Amino acid sequence: MVTMKEVAQLAGVSITTVSHVINETRAVAGATRDRVLQAIEETGYTGDAIARSLVTGGTKSLGLAVSLVSHPYFAELIAAIEAEATRAGYSLVLIDTRGEAESEQAAVRMLRSRRVDGVLLTPTAGSAALPELRRLGVPTVLVDRLTVAQDTDQVGPENVQTTSTLVRHLAELGHRRIGMVTGTPGLATTDERVLGYRLGLGRAGLAWDESLVAGSVEPLLGRVTGVVVGDHQVLANVVRTTRASGVRLGTDLALVAYDEVEWAELVDPPLTTMAQPVEEIGRTAVRLLLDRIEDPTRAPQTIRLVPELRHRLSCGCH
């Protein structure tokens, strides 16, 4: 690899000067500058982030520890994060937490040893990594799945009011028995949405019935006229199951779902969903992290972004 030394020799200056013209960290005479720039051009010098990091302490890289198993949704999120990070001159080290506390721990350790400047984390159910990060003082932002504690920066969708809105929409359509199919249990997100469901029932003057909340739609069939689906992961199953059971969505069973999916309007009937502002969530998360890196003493922020209703036909509207 081309080093600064070679560039310096070619330009007939010291490596100090080369460093300074590259980083614009001290005035350099025009003529000298040009020679250096020229030498860089000629040699194809790219710099060595490793060596630089060793002395500066920073790496200009962010760790992205997410659970990759939840495909379709995270792809978009990662893209948004990547874009914003790149824009700020940071690169991303990606690592899969596999949704398990243990892998998550290992992942975070690895990121630390790689000295990333900050970490974007989607905490798993029983996350042990989060306290560790806090203790070590590593700038961290939680994405998508948030904690109740407000002592960490975090960005995610608003779940409670949003799910409540979904329920109320069904209620306004006249449904009295509304069930809910929940996402992965144990996740903060899931809990919040169930809470929102409950809240929505209350607002609509409907009674809460524990037996109408389940992890799949089967036990609900025939017992409810409307259903709220907790996330995109279970949504596919719900559609499949109802179809297999001959239940027609929108007519036999009104369906509204949290999370937009690519195929929402390709199925029959098109699905009414709540679309998270995924792109904005990703962007905001990176911003927040960068802010914290810059000023580690800031007060932690919790940002909830409001999803948008994609009103289609599965709710029974026309």
Which positions touch DNA (CB under 7 A)? Answer: 1, 3-5, 12-17, 19-20, 22-23, 25-29, 31-33, 45, 47-48, 51-52, 54-56
Burial, 185: exposed, middle or buried (Cβ in 10 Å; 0-12, 13-18, 19+)? Answer: exposed
Task: Report the partner that residue 79 touches, choosing among a copy of itself, DNA, none (CB closer than 5 to 8 A by kind).
Answer: a copy of itself
Q: Which of 22, 37, 92, 303 binds a copy of itself (CB under 8 A)?
A: 92
Q: How far is the CB of 238 from DNA (least distance, A)?
A: 50
Task: Report the partner that residue 76 touches, choosing among a copy of itself, DNA, none (CB closer than 5 to 8 A by kind).
Answer: a copy of itself
Task: Report the partner that residue 69 touches, choosing among DNA, a copy of itself, none (CB closer than 5 to 8 A by kind).
Answer: a copy of itself
Q: Does 54 bind a copy of itself (CB under 8 A)?
A: yes
Cβ nearer to DNA, comparing 48 with 209: 48
Look up residue 249 and give its DSSP letter: B
Q: Taking a C-beta distance cutoff of 8 angstroms, is the pair 248, 264 a contact?
A: no
* Residue for token pair 């359509």: 173
What number of other Cβ atoms are within 10 A of residue 27's Cβ? 9
- Amino acid, single-letter form, for residue 201: L
Q: How far apart are CA 226 and CA 204, in angstroms?
A: 14
Q: Taking a C-beta distance cutoff of 8 angstroms, is the pair 238, 181 a contact?
A: yes
Strands of the sheet containing 226-229, edge to edge, are 213-214, 178-181, 226-229, 254-258, 272-275, 308-310
Q: Taking a C-beta distance cutoff of 8 angstroms, is the pair 291, 156 a contact?
A: no
Which residue(s) pair with 272 in the sheet?
256
Cβ nearer to a copy of itself, comparing 84 with 192: 84
Q: Taking a C-beta distance cutoff of 8 angstroms, is the pair 140, 226 a contact?
A: no
Q: Does 248 bind a copy of itself (CB under 8 A)?
A: no
Stretch of 24-32, 83-91, 144-152, 305-313 lying at the interface with a copy of itself (CB under 8 A) = 83-91
Q: Does 268 bind a copy of itself (CB under 8 A)?
A: yes
* Residue for token pair 């905001």: 284
Task: Report the partner that residue 3 touches, choosing among a copy of itself, DNA, none (CB closer than 5 to 8 A by kind).
Answer: DNA
Task: Report the partner that residue 4 touches, choosing among DNA, a copy of itself, none (CB closer than 5 to 8 A by kind).
Answer: DNA
Helices (H), 204-253: 232-244
Q: Helix, strand or coil for residue 218? A: helix
Task: Report the partner that residue 258 touches, choosing among DNA, a copy of itself, none (CB closer than 5 to 8 A by kind).
Answer: none
Cβ nearer to a copy of itself, comparing 27 with 266: 266
Q: How far is the CB of 100 from a copy of itself (least distance, A)?
A: 13
Q: How far is the CB of 191 from a copy of itself (least distance, A)?
A: 25
Nearest alpha carbon to residue 309 among 233, 267, 257: 257
Would you tell me which residues interact with a copy of itself (CB under 8 A)?
Answer: 1, 46-51, 53-54, 59, 61, 64, 68-69, 71-72, 74-76, 78-79, 82-83, 86, 91-96, 109-110, 112-115, 236, 239-240, 243, 261-263, 265-268
